[in-house]
Amino acid sequence: MTATTFQLTTLIADLPGVEQMTVEATQHLGLRCVADLLLHLPMRYQHTRPWQAIGPIIDATTEQATAEDHVEVRGEVVSVKRGFGRTPKVEVVIDDPTGDITLVFFNQPWIQRRLHPGQKLAAIGTPRAYRSSVQMANPTWRALDDDAVLIPPSDASDLVQIQPVYPASEAIASPRLAAVIQSCLDQAVALLEDHLTDAWRRDRNLPTLADAYLHLHRPDFDDQIASARRRLVLDELLMLQLAVMMKRHHRRTALHAQMLARTEQVQRRIESRIPFELTTAQRRVIDEIAQDLESSIPMNRLLQGDVGSGKTVVALAAMLQAVAHGKQAALVAPTELLAEQHARTLQALLRDSEVKLCLLTGSVAAARRSRLVNDIATGDVNIVVGTHAVLTEDVIFADLAIAVTDEQHRFGVRQRAALRDKSGDQLHAPHQLVMTATPIPRTLSLTIFGDLDYSVLDELPPGRTPVETVSVTAAEAHAVYDDLAQAVGRGERGYVVAAVIDESESGLVDLHSHLEWLRNGPLQHCRIEALHGRMDTDTRESIMERFRRGELDVLVATTVIEVGVDVPEATRIVIENADRFGLAQLHQLRGRVGRGSCPGRCVLIADPSTDEGQRRIEAMVETTDGFRIAERDLEIRGPGELFGARQSGIPPFRVARLPRDMELLSLARRDAEAWIDADPLLQAPEHALLRKRMLKAHGRWLGLGDVG
Ligand code: ADP
Ligand code: MG
């Protein structure tokens, strides 16, 4: 291949000197072309002094008592043997003219096939005396050419060399990967065009895109790594923020919504529907929303309120503001169970009013469904409650003014805009309110939901006491259920949660066997039923209804009850295999109790097998404050997995890590805001490449296609 045909899209297979085996191994890592190699960044760096650190083997084996750092030895393989012991290991003895050393590879049985006597290799590790020999455990190693020099020349310098260590695999070790990357690095970075201007970089003292990649793959100094990383992180966050700001700008300038003026009369009528004294927080948030609704700029507001904070009536108030103007409102829920419950709650609040409300879920029979769809299209229905899938399929509203999405801790950023009405006007949009019980750390919500305005219900209705939470081991389960039986005897109600429905090899407590056990054992005097997502709606409804009315004492359920189920009389929840649930999930489950004036109690049964599981349990016992839980979740898991971020379609960060890179996020946000203010569609010629790359990264999930 000639230099002129080399491109970033050139396949690894077409690079000179790369064998088939390497090509396949890189493919397994998801690497196909030169650009993929560039983007495959080192996970850490190893500092070696190339020759000074490479001693003859005799030095490594005699100085090992003081060897703290890694040293490199080079030798010829003498023998390759499988070793014995609890962990599978392969022992490889290498020698040079001065002595020998044993390399011990734990849990890497394939080494036995890879190495053979006579082969030369370099190994980096820490030598340690073991019995009569000197060993290096799990060294990094690479094959050397047959004519490689084993003992360093006498004039070796003591320059420190920084070696990148790459995420690698069984099939290809980091040094081999490094060699492939190095072989095309100079050519590759020469092709990189920077999408940020020289002025921007100079102001922030950051390298070009080309230098950033060069320095990460081949650093001369540690400082270079730090500033290269800074450049790429800022870059990545900037792209995201630009996309989000562009979307925001579009919404605020191009789109328009119904103006729903709030008169005193409307307000009184709305308030008369609410059977209790609103909390100060509810009042404030209802006001914030009402103001948004008066404007022709489509509202895009995120309402955060911990479980039980009373989001439903806030949603009702917002929807009634639309209904008062003869427009329609929709409430979208993540599960049928929750949609059913919302419909029931709202019906009760709207009893004897003119407002027509309907429930539309996947379980509604075809004939009824088509009638409802028709009523929605003609405007005969004012408020539609339904599940996501159902409300987006073929449901066209006559005049939809507001869509409320109750997502609990699931986010569906992508689906949010999908509700349609008949206006046929592309630029017409309903007001949107997204409610979540997941307290997103403020910092994170800014990043991901930068396009959202933000309200918080930071106050629980009066009379609530925090749920008491304890954790016990499986061995103590019996006592827990005896206690539950006693509580039931006093008239309390409770939930028992199992992680799986059917018995399986997982060893997890399953709903069916557990129900049997409870029925015949500790809860034999209780009225008890199962509840799970595989039941048909009628069965589920009737069980929920019986539980609500107090005709059942205990529900043995899967996580179907995690979202939104509201039975204020339930005071107890027992969660089996609690370490298997995510923290947000546990917090939601716990939120099922302590919703009324009676104090709630949550028991987590677990014998955590992982450190993370243990930490989740500890966090739950430690606090009932949703915001603290969310912060802990962020610490334990990192934001990648957080709050179903993946489902939302937000591309995962490649280099940025939050909350570690928070400071850079603020910088990115400031820049993005200023740029979009000055050039809303990034149409300036110097932004052309930036715009192209930004749309490629974020255009789809944010639905920026319509922005231009
Ligand atoms: P969530 O925010 O979890 O959706 P809900 O809207 O389901 O909370 O409200 C939880 C419970 O608290 C419901 O039974 C509701 O009727 C009740 N509630 C809400 N607001 C108040 C209030 N201001 N005073 C008393 N009870 C309230
Ligand atoms: Mg709710």
pLDDT of residue 12: 94
Average pLDDT, the chain: 86
**Integer-rounded Cα radius of gyration of the chain:** 31
Band of residue 45 on the pLDDT scale cut at 50, 70, 90: very high
If one residue of 280, 285, 303, 313 were mutated to test the ligand 1 pocket, choosing by the most ligand atoms within 8 A of its CB, it would be: 313
d(CA 511, CA 497): 8
C-alpha 291 – ligand 2 centre gap (Å): 22
Residue 53 reports pLDDT greater than 90: no
Q: Tell me, using a 6 A CB cutoff, whether residue 566 lines ligand 1.
A: yes
C-alpha 342 – ligand 1 centre gap (Å): 12
| Cβ(646)–Cβ(652) below 8 Å | yes
What pLDDT, in 10s, does the model give residues 640-668? 444 444 444 566 778 887 767 878 988 99
Q: Is the pTM of this model over 0.95?
A: no
Residue minimizing CA distance to atom 16 of ligand 1: 310
Q: Tell me, using a 6 A CB cutoff, whether residue 568 lines ligand 1.
A: yes
C-alpha 278 – ligand 1 centre gap (Å): 9
Q: Tell me, using a 6 A CB cutoff, whether residue 224 lines ligand 1.
A: no
Mean pLDDT of 690-703: 86
Tell me the domains of the chain and their CATH numbers: 60-146 (2.40.50.140), 264-294+310-436 (3.40.50.300), 468-623 (3.40.50.300)
Higher-scoring residue by pLDDT: 30, 626: 30
Residue 498, both tokens: 């199992």
To which residue do tokens 């492939």 refer? 180
Residue among 39, 200, 249 at smallest CA distance from 687: 200
Contacts of 352 (CB under 8 A, 6+ apart): none
Q: Which of 31-40, 161-170, 651-660 has the lowest mean pLDDT?
A: 651-660
pLDDT of residue 415: 44
pLDDT of residue 653: 79
Residues with CB under 5 A from ligand 2 (ion): 564
Mean pLDDT of 547-551: 94
pLDDT of residue 368: 94
Residue minimizing CA distance to atom 5 of ligand 1: 310
Q: Tell me, using a 6 A CB cutoff, whether residue 194 lines ligand 1.
A: no
Residue 565 reports pLDDT greater than 90: no
What pLDDT, in 10s, does the model give residues 221-230? 889 999 999 9
Phi-psi region of 373 (alpha: psi -120 to 50; beta: other; left: phi over 0): alpha
